[in-house]
């Protein structure tokens, strides 16, 4: 592959990337966030996130598969409790879930 081809590829990728971002900026002022389409998109995004979390808990892959379902559900419950008690602080909930998972695994539960 020649140097000119590489530079043309980089230029083309940059134009496509920044053009789509530019269109997004131009259209963002016209989007009605209270409209039915935006609410539907938001609901689909939340549903996909919930499905991903459920799949990670019930049918995990990789190193998480070495933990028992009991440990995964307990750490998820702990994360949710800390999130709700911590004034809906997402970082606090995520950190608590990870710490709970690690502590339960080290303690040999499940």
pLDDT tens readout for residues 12-29: 999 999 998 998 888 888
Eight-state DSSP code of residue 87:
T
Question: Which pLDDT score is estimated for 98?
Answer: 95
pTM: predicted TM-score of the whole model, two decimal places: 0.64
Residue 94's contacts (CB-CB under 8 Å, 6 or more residues apart) are 79
pLDDT tens readout for residues 63-99: 899 899 999 999 999 999 999 999 999 999 999 999 9
Question: Which pLDDT score is estimated for 86?
Answer: 95
Burial (CB count within 10 angstroms: exposed 0-12, middle 13-18, buried 19+), residue 57:
middle
Proportion of the chain above pLDDT 70, given as a percent: 99
């Amino acid at each position: 592959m020649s140097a000119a081809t590489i530079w043309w590829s980089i230029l083309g990728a940059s134009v496509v990337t920044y053009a789509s971002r530019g269109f997004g900026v131009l259209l963002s002022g016209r989007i009605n966030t209270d409209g039915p389409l935006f609410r539907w998109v938001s609901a689909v995004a939340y549903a996909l996130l919930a499905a991903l979390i459920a799949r990670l808990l019930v049918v995990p892959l990789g190193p998480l598969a070495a933990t028992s379902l009991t440990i995964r559900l307990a750490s998820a419950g702990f994360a949710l409790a800390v999130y709700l008690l911590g004034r809906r602080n997402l970082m606090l909930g995520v950190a608590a879930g990870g710490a709970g998972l690690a502590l339960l695994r080290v303690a040999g539960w499940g």
